[in-house]
Amino acid sequence: MSAVLGLTIARDRVVAVLVRRTARGPQVSGRVERALSAGPAEGAWPELLEALRGLLEPFGGATEVSVALHRSLGHAKTITVPRLARTELRGLVTRHARRYFLSATDQSLADAIPERSGRRGTPVRALATCAEAAVVEAVLAAVREAGLRCVAVTPASCALVEAVRSLVPASRRAPVLIAVRSEDWQEGIAVRGRTILAVEPWTGSDDDDLVVAAARLAESVLGSASDRGPLSVIPLVGPRRDPDGDVFSGGAFSLLRLPPAVDGLDAAALAAFGATQCTADTPQVIPERIWQETARAERLRAVLLAAVAVVALTVAGVAHLWGLRRELAAVVEERQAHAQAVGTALVIAREIQSVRSRLEAVRQAESGVSRWSRVLVSVAQTLPDSAFLVAFTADSTGVRLDGVAPAAASAASALSRSPQLRDVTLVSAFRSPGAEDMERFALTIAVQPGAAAGAPASPTVQP
């Protein structure tokens, strides 16, 4: 949790608040005021240096300082200028500071922020700031000698607007009038969104004068009350903010409250807080060398960030490549571990495929075998070895066998015992002259149903 010291510096006093940056937003802790008996002289401000050293005791946790210059030292107003870049516009306003600010001299520091709206080539409204270079140099020297680092120097009017934007979210959407009246600061600031419409110093000693001035300022920049309705007002009246808002209780205004945590702070303390909330769009009053140092620091920061990004990308790429290599090594190791099992599985798969191929060949061979093959096998298995077939004739009812055997009856008896053959009938048997030891026979056999059913008749086979 970092802390920043916010200062509002006037010629006769310095008001300080400590702002801590937390996750819930900036938190203000304490308000300290120190009197200054003398102003800056010859680029130095001893009284301010002693006051800063005294502030380090109650606010010892701060190392950075943001400065809001009181209206007696720093000024802000809206001007109309050509549409230029901020650097060119800052040079233009600095060269012609006496044209825009009555209190400016040839040694004044200035800055300007143009509005983003408007057509190209047409003049635009800009918020310009101005302060004496000697005063700013004395403030920067005192801050430096106190061991602190200054991060912003802006007029109190701009710092007060930054405080309202940070503390009152409603002021970022609708027009708001900040009414300031204290012993040494009387001013009205009209704001719409991030644009400061007008910064107008006020005169008058009573509440009626303040209300009239506020109504006149609102009408000049926002139109009549009948067209725009009641205007939201944040009154900072007297040494402390008017808690009841009695000054602006009329129908032309509606009160806009600050958060309770800062409700008791006066305009100077709120400006000190707002100085710590300055952004790149807040006009500053700092010497040109500070602008150059800031630009160099920003360029260096951009280069460092780019270098860090390159290093981070390189490290991420190397880590990713290392991870990929580790995954590849793990995959290779796992494949090697399973290589033997995979090889064995491939051999088994090839053997299974070979067996399937052989079985398919056998199936195809069996499908092409003659329908009488089973009958021939049965005859060959049961016919005695001493008997020989000389002729085979088949038809749809059975087969006829012609052959020779030592005894035709024994051959017929052997065939009749086959389960595949039935009704074995010995048709004839006789012995031929000159071959009395062999008997010629003829047999008919009825095949079992289904063995050769529906088989077409085949021609007689002669040996």
Q: Which residue bears the tokens 């922020």?
A: 113
> 408-439 pLDDT, tens per residue?
888 888 888 887 777 888 888 888 777 778 88
Q: H or E segment at 367?
A: helix 288-367
Strands 253-255 and 231-237 come out as parallel
Total domains in the fold of the chain: 4
Which of the listed residues 368, 400, 430 is the one where a domain comes to its end? 368
Mean per-residue pLDDT over the chain, rounded: 82
Residues 42 and 127 grouped into a single domain = yes
Q: H or E segment at 99?
A: helix 97-100
Residues 404 and 272 grouped into a single domain = no
Q: What pLDDT score does 224 carry? A: 62
When pLDDT is cut at 50, 70 and 90, the band that residue 368 belongs to is low
CATH of the domain at 382: 3.30.1360
Q: What is the mean pLDDT of residues 107-136?
A: 84
CA distance 345 to 82: 86
Q: Is the pLDDT of residue 38 over 80?
A: yes
Q: What pLDDT score does 198 carry? A: 87
Q: What is the mean pLDDT of residues 228-239?
A: 67
Q: What pLDDT score does 119 carry? A: 64
Strands 435-447 and 421-432 come out as antiparallel
Q: Is the pLDDT of residue 362 over 90?
A: no
Considering only 266-270, 329-333, 432-436, which range has the smallest mean pLDDT? Answer: 432-436
Which of the listed residues 337, 368, 399 is the one where a domain comes to its end? 368
Q: Is the pLDDT of residue 8 over 90?
A: yes
Q: Is the pLDDT of residue 227 over 80?
A: no
Residues 440 and 398 grouped into a single domain = yes
Q: What pLDDT score does 206 carry? A: 67
When pLDDT is cut at 50, 70 and 90, the band that residue 229 belongs to is low
When pLDDT is cut at 50, 70 and 90, the band that residue 207 belongs to is low
Inter-residue contact 442 to 427 (CB < 8 Å): yes
> 68-99 pLDDT, tens per residue?
999 889 999 999 888 888 888 888 998 988 89
Q: What is the mean pLDDT of residues 392-410?
A: 84
**Which residues touch 16 (CB under 8 Å, ≥6 apart)?**
5, 6, 7, 8, 31, 32, 33, 34, 55, 59, 272
Tell me which residue range forms the domain holding 221: 170-257
CA distance 202 to 204: 7
Residues 151 and 282 grouped into a single domain = yes
Token pair, residue 251, equals 């129908």
Which of the listed residues 368, 398, 428 is the one where a domain comes to its end? 368
When pLDDT is cut at 50, 70 and 90, the band that residue 326 belongs to is very high
Q: Which residue bears the tokens 């399973």?
A: 338
Q: What is the chain's alpha carbon radius of gyration, rounded to the nearest angstrom?
A: 57
Considering only 116-120, 130-134, 351-355, which range has the smallest mean pLDDT? Answer: 116-120
Residues 76 and 125 grouped into a single domain = yes
CB atoms inside a 10 Å sphere around CB 147 = 10
What is the dihedral sign for C-alpha 451, 453, 456, 458? positive
Residues 129 and 203 grouped into a single domain = no
Residues 68 and 162 grouped into a single domain = yes
Is the pTM here over 0.85, yes or no? Answer: no
Q: What pLDDT score does 459 carry? A: 40
Residues 36 and 108 grouped into a single domain = yes
**Which residue spans within 124-227 are E strands per DSSP?**
124-132, 149-155, 176-181, 186-192, 195-201
Q: What is the mean pLDDT of residues 188-216?
A: 79
CA distance 170 to 167: 9
